[in-house]
Amino acid sequence: MAAAGGPVLWRRLLGLLPQGRLGLAALLGRLSDRLSLGRDRRSRRSSWLLLAPLLAPTVPQVTAPSFCVCPEGMHRFQWIRNLVPEFGVSSSHIRVLSSPTEFYELMKEQIKAAKQRVVVASLYLGTGLLEQELVDCIEETLERSLQASGPSDFRVSILLDFTRGSRGRNNSRTMLLPLLRRFPEQVRVSLFHTPNLRGLLKCLIPERFNETIGLQHIKVYLFDDNVILSGANLSDSYFTNRQDRYVFLQDSPEIADFFTELVDAIGDVSLQLQSDDTVQMMEGMVHPYQGDKTAYCEVANRRVMEVINAARTRQELHMQTFHGRRSEGDPLLPQQDPSAGGDQKPEPDTWIYPLIQMKPFGIQIDERVTETLLTEAERGARIYLTTGYFNLTQAYMDLVLGTRAQYQILLASPEVNGFFGAKGVAGAIPAAYVYIEHQFYSEVCCLGQQDRVQLLEYSRNGWTFHAKGLWLYLAGSSLPCLTLIGSPNFGYRSVHRDLEAQVAIVTENRDLQQQLHQEQEQLYLKSGIVSSSTFEQPTRYVKLWVKLVTPLIKNFF
C-alpha cells in the first residue's frame, strides 16, 4: 500500500475532477505517469540493462481536439481526420466475421478471385498444411494471371517480421521461396527488422528472445479492392481454434490503396527476401541494423508519413469536391432515392480512420487517438476493451482508473493464453499475466472502482484467445457507435516497440452497430467476472520468482 500511495492519491484526486475536457485532470494524470515512470526506471537499474528498451527520443505530446457533436448532423469523432485520412463508406460494404474458420475460408476465396493484387501484412506465416494451402492458392492465382492474354499486372506483396519469420529451419521464408523462384517479377517478400536490435544486443540475444525487442505486428489482408482487417496471424491455430476479431471491407478502393501504399512503404525500409534465401536492402536504402539508426528511422518516418499525408490530401479534396457539387445541385451526384438503379453508390453512413503506431519511427497516432477516446468518454458511456495479453501501459491504466466511463475489460484466462503449456521460460508467461491482472484488480478495489471498472476472463475449452480492440457505447445508447480493430494490444510493446495498425470504425448505421454489438456480446458471453476469489484458485498461483522477475521484463511481452 505504501509503495502505491503516490499514484493512488493522484488518481483519487483525478476522479474528483471534471473530465469534460483535457484540462487540470489530464495534467494530474500526466504528473502521475511521470512519478510512476521514474519509480519504474529506478527499479530496473540492474544487470537487465542489456535488455533495456532502445527507444527513439520521446515525441512531444500533442493533444487531439476533443470530440463534439458536429454541425449538419456530422458524427462526433471527426476530429480524428485532423491526424489521418477519413474514408467514408456505406455500411453495406462492411461485414463483421466471427470465427477463425470463416476468416480462413474467406481468405482462400478472396485470393482465388483476385485479379490485380494480393497484399499481405502479418507477423509471420506458419509452416503447416493449412498455411501451405494458402500459399497454393496464391500460386494458382499467379499461374492463372500468366495464362491471360497480354502482359500480366497481377502482383503479390507480402510483409512479415524478420526475426519471427526466420525462426527455425522451416519457417515463413522457406514457405515463400517457391513463389519467389517461380514468379520473381510478380512476388515481393519484405522482412521488417527493427532498428533497435543491433550491435552487441543482436549478437547476444538468442532466437525467439530477440523477438522481444521489436516486431512488425501489423495484420492486413488485401485482395484487389477488398480488405480484411484483423489481429490474427497466418498460422493454423488462427484458422481453427484461436479466437480473434475480423472485419471485411468490400469494394473499398481508397482504403485498399491506402493499405497497399502503407505496406509498400514499410516494405521499402525492410530487408528483401531473395530466391536463394538471402536478404538485402533496396539500393540506396539505409540498413536497419548495420546503418545509422537515426538516419534509418528518419527515412522510415518520412516514407510512412508520406503515405498518410498523401491519403489525407486526396480524401480532403474528394470531400471538398463532393460537397461543393452537392451544394450546387449537380445532377451527376448519387441520389438518395432507394429505388434508383445502376452502379451509383449510396452516401456514406460509416467512416474509417487508419490509426498507425510506430514509436521507433516517432509515429504515435494510434496512441494519441486511443488516449483521447478514453479521456473524453463521458459519464454513462460504456467501453468494452479486450486484449489477449493484459499488460496495459501506465497511461492507459491511469485513464481507465481516473475517468468516468464504465469499463468492462476482457482478457485471457491462463488456460486460453497462447503461452499456456509452453516449454521453458515462456511457460511462466501466463502466470506473469495473472500477476499483472491481480495488481490491477487490487488497485481497482483500493480506489473503490469495482462498480465502474470490471475485469472478465475469457474461457473456452480447447481454444486460445487473441482478440483485441474496443467498442464504445455513448451514454444512453444500447449499441456501439465506434470500434477499434486491428493489431495493438494496448500494452507497452504495442505503444513503444512494435509496428502496429488498427482502424477506428465510426458508424451511424443501426444494422452495422448491431453487428458490432453482437460481436462484442459473443466474446463476452464466454467469460466470467473476476473477483478476489479468482486469485485464490490453484490455477492462479504465481511463484515467487515470477513475481520478482515480472516488473523487470513486463515491457518485453
* pLDDT of 143 over the 70 cut: yes
Tell how strand 271-273 and strand 187-192 pair up: antiparallel
* pLDDT of 33 over the 80 cut: no
* pLDDT of 11 over the 80 cut: no
Name residues whose C-beta falls within 8 Å of residue 312's C-beta, 6 or more positions apart in sequence.
81, 84, 85
pLDDT of the residue at 418: 79
For the question of residue 217 being annotated catalytic, the response is yes
* pLDDT of 416 over the 50 cut: yes
Using alpha carbons only, give the angle 428, 166, 226 rounded to the nearest 5 degrees: 95
pLDDT of the residue at 43: 42
pLDDT of the residue at 2: 40
User: How much is the CA Rg of the chain, to the nearest whole Å?
Assistant: 23
Name the DSSP class of 346.
P
Least confident range from 227-236, 287-296, 298-307, 308-317: namely: 308-317
* Ordered DSSP codes for 201-239: HHHHSPTTGGGGS--B---EEEETTEEEEES--BSHHHH
Q: Which residues pair with 97 in a beta bridge?
A: 246
* pLDDT of 63 over the 90 cut: no
Catalytic position from the list 193, 219, 438, 468: 219
Query: For the residues 37-44, what does the mean pLDDT come to?
Result: 42
pLDDT in tens, 328-349: 555 544 444 444 445 566 789 9
pLDDT grade for 152, boundaries at 50, 70 and 90: confident
pLDDT grade for 173, boundaries at 50, 70 and 90: very high
pLDDT of the residue at 542: 94
pLDDT of the residue at 427: 81
* pLDDT of 403 over the 80 cut: yes
pLDDT in tens, 354-392: 999 999 999 999 999 999 999 999 999 999 999 999 999
Tell me how far apart the alpha carbons of residues 192 and 190 are, in angstroms, rounded to a whole number.
Answer: 6
Are 248 and 106 a contacting pair, CB within 8 Å?
Answer: yes
pLDDT of the residue at 326: 52
Tell me how far apart the alpha carbons of residues 519 and 500 are, in angstroms, rounded to a whole number.
Answer: 22
pLDDT in tens, 440-499: 999 999 999 999 999 999 999 999 999 999 999 999 999 999 999 999 999 999 999 999
For the chain, the first-to-last Cα distance in angstroms comes to 26
Nearest to 215 by CA among 107, 355, 359: 359
Name residues whose C-beta falls within 8 Å of residue 195's C-beta, 6 or more positions apart in sequence.
214, 288, 289, 293, 296, 297, 300, 360
Catalytic position from the list 93, 193, 217, 517: 217
Q: Tell me phi and psi for residue 87, to 5 degrees.
A: -110, 115
pLDDT in tens, 514-527: 999 999 999 999 99
Tell me how far apart the alpha carbons of residues 30 and 394 are, in angstroms, rounded to a whole number.
Answer: 10
Which residue shows C-alpha cell 499488460?
Answer: 391
Maximum average pLDDT range among 143-152, 428-437, 514-523 = 514-523
pLDDT more than 70, % of the chain: 82
pLDDT of the residue at 207: 92
Tell me how far apart the alpha carbons of residues 241 and 100 are, in angstroms, rounded to a whole number.
Answer: 7
For the question of residue 318 being annotated catalytic, the response is no
Least confident range from 59-63, 105-109, 153-157, 396-400: namely: 59-63
pLDDT grade for 318, boundaries at 50, 70 and 90: confident
Q: Tell me phi and psi for residue 253, to 5 degrees.
A: -60, -40
| Average pLDDT of every residue of the chain | 86
Catalytic position from the list 40, 136, 224, 268: 224
Tell me how far apart the alpha carbons of residues 498 and 489 are, in angstroms, rounded to a whole number.
Answer: 11
pLDDT of the residue at 8: 45
Are 458 and 526 a contacting pair, CB within 8 Å?
Answer: yes
* pLDDT of 118 over the 90 cut: yes
pLDDT grade for 19, boundaries at 50, 70 and 90: very low
For the question of residue 108 being annotated catalytic, the response is no
